Amino acid sequence: MKSLSSQRSLASIPSLNSQSHHHHHPPNHPSTTTYHQCLTTLKGPTSSYTSSLALSGTFLYTGSSDREIRSWDRTLLTSHSELHPPHQVALSGKGAVKSIVVQSDHHKLFSAHQDHKIRVWKKTSNHQNKYTCVATLPTLGDRASKILSPKNQVQIRRHKRCTWVHHVDTVSALALSKDHTLLYSVSWDRTLKIWRTTDFSCLESVSNAHDDAINAVAVSNDGSVYTGSADKRIKVWKKGEGGEKKHALVDCLEKHKSGINALALSNDGCVLYSGACDSGSADKTIRIWRGVEREYCCLAVLEGHRGAVKCITATVDRCDSSEACCCVVYSGSLDCDIRMWQIVVPVV
C-alpha cells in the first residue's frame, strides 16, 4: 500500500462559487456544468444545532446536540427562503446524537452518540412515528464472547485495554450497505467498524484508519467505503477479493483545506458530497465530487452556511440517463440551520 505522502492529489475542476443559480444553462438544459441552488432554509430550535441527517420515505430525520431526533415531513417543504415547518420529536437518547441511519424495511433506526455507543431503535407507532430502544452496541453477548481471548484485546491507554468491538471515543457517523445487512461506524478513536444488522455483532475493525478523528462515512452500492477525517482527507476503502475479507485503502482525496465533517453519496454512487470547516476560517462549504473508474474531480462548491457544515444527506429527485441527474441535498450546520439544495449534475 502506498504511503499517504506518496499518494496523488486528485484532479479538480475550477470552483463554481462565482456562478449564481441563474446560470445561462437552466437545470433542464444539457450542459457540461454542474447547476446548483439553495431552495430553502429550515429553521429549527435555536438552542441546539443539527448534528446528523437521514432520509426515509417522505421523512427527513434530524439528530441534534440536545440528544433529540426529530422528524420532518418533506412533502411540506417548499421553495421559500426560510421556513419554520412543523416537526415532531421521534425519540430522545443519551448523549448528543452524532449520526442516524434508517433501516426502513425493518422499521429500525440506528443512532450514534457522544457517549461512545450505537443505539438501535424500533418504530412503535406508524401514525406517531415514534421509536423505542431495543439494543445498544456493542451488545453484552458480543462483549462477553470477545473478552476472554487476549487476541481480542487492544491497548487504548497506557494502562487500559478493551476488546476491539468497543469504540473508545465519540461515535461520529454511521452508514448502511445497499442491502442493509451491514452497518458501518466511524469514531473519533480513528477506527472504522463493520456490524451485522441481524444480530448486531461486530465483524471487523480497521484501526488507525486516519491520522486524526474520523467524522464521516458513506458507502456506495458497489461496497466502496468513504471516510472523512479531521486530517483533511477523504479515504476510499474496498473489501479485498478472493480469500481477503478485510477492508483495504484504495484511494485518498486531498482537496479540502480543512477537516472533513460530512459525506453523502448520490443513489448511484457516482457523486460524492463532502462538507468541511476550519474553525475561524471561511471554508464553511459543501463540495460535490464525481468518481469515474476510481478517478475523482470536484464539480462544485456550495456556499451559504454561516457555521461549520456538520452533516449532509442526498437523494435523487429525477435522472435523465442521457443528460443530467437532479439531486436534492440537505445540509446541517453549527449555524442551527438546515439548508435544502437542488443539484443538477451532467451525465458523463
Task: Please state the rounded mean pLDDT for residues 268-282.
Answer: 67
Most confident of 87-91, 197-201, 259-263: 197-201
* C-alpha count within 13 angstroms, C-beta hemisphere, residue 31: 17
**What is the structure's pLDDT at 280?**
43
Please check the confidence at residue 225 and state whether its pLDDT lies above 90: yes
pLDDT at 320 over 70: no
Chain centroid offset of residue 200 CA: 20
Among the listed residues 180, 175, 89, 93, the one whose alpha carbon sits nearest the alpha carbon of residue 133: 93
Of 295 and 107, more confident: 107
Q: Could you tell me the CA-to-CA distances from 75 to 18, 82, 85, 109 in Å, in that order?
A: 31, 16, 10, 21
CB 151 within 8 A of CB 165: no
Predicted local distance difference test score (pLDDT) of residue 128? 66
Mean pLDDT, residues 154-164 taken together: 78
- How high is the pLDDT of residue 229? 95
Between residues 80 and 259, which one has the greater pLDDT? 259
Nearest to 302 by CA among 261, 325, 331: 331
| pLDDT above 80 (res 342) | yes
Average pLDDT, integer, range 159-171? 89
DSSP string, 51-111: EEEEEETTEEEEEETTSEEEEEEGGG--S-SEE---EEEEEE-SS-EEEEEEEGGGTEEEE
Highest mean pLDDT, choosing among 149-158, 164-173, 263-272, 300-309: 164-173
Q: Averaged over 267-283, what is the pLDDT?
A: 67
Q: Which of 38-42, 154-158, 251-255 has the lowest mean pLDDT?
A: 154-158
Among 18-27, 50-59, 283-292, 305-314, whose mean pLDDT is lowest?
18-27
88: Cβ–Cβ under 8 A, 6 or more apart, which residues? Answer: 70, 71, 128, 129
Q: State the average pLDDT for the chain.
A: 81
Whole-number pLDDT of residue 80: 58
Q: What SS3 class is residue 142?
A: helix
3-state DSSP assignment of residue 116 = coil
Q: What is the pTM of this model?
A: 0.77
Highest mean pLDDT range out of 95-104, 186-195, 329-338? 186-195
DSSP category for residue 6? G
pLDDT tens for 19-67 read: 334 333 434 444 468 889 999 898 877 778 888 999 988 889 999 888 8
Kindly state the average pLDDT of the residues 262-279.
Answer: 76
Nearest to 12 by CA among 331, 255, 317, 280: 255
Contact 291, 268 (CB under 8 A): no
Q: How far apart are CA 107 and CA 15, in angstroms?
A: 40
The percent of residues in the chain predicted with pLDDT above 90, rounded, is: 39
In this structure, of 27-31, 186-190, 226-230, the range with the lowest mean pLDDT score is 27-31
Pick the more confident residue, 29 or 162: 162
- What fold characterizes domain 9-23+52-311? Methylamine Dehydrogenase; Chain H (2.130.10)
Locus of grid cell 407507532:
125
Question: What are the tens digits of pLDDT across the range 96-141?
Answer: 899 999 997 778 999 999 999 999 999 886 666 778 899 999 999 9
Q: Highest-confidence range of 66-70, 276-280, 335-339, by mean pLDDT? A: 335-339
State percent of the chain over pLDDT 70: 79
pLDDT score at 269:
73
**Gap between the Cα atoms of 108 and 232, Å rounded:** 32
- What residue ranges do the domains of the chain occupy? 9-23+52-311
Q: At residue 290, does pLDDT exceed 90?
A: no
Confidence band for 9, pLDDT divided at 50, 70 and 90: very low
For residue 286, count CB atoms less than 10 angstroms from its CB and return exposed for 0-12, middle for 13-18, buried for 19 or more: buried
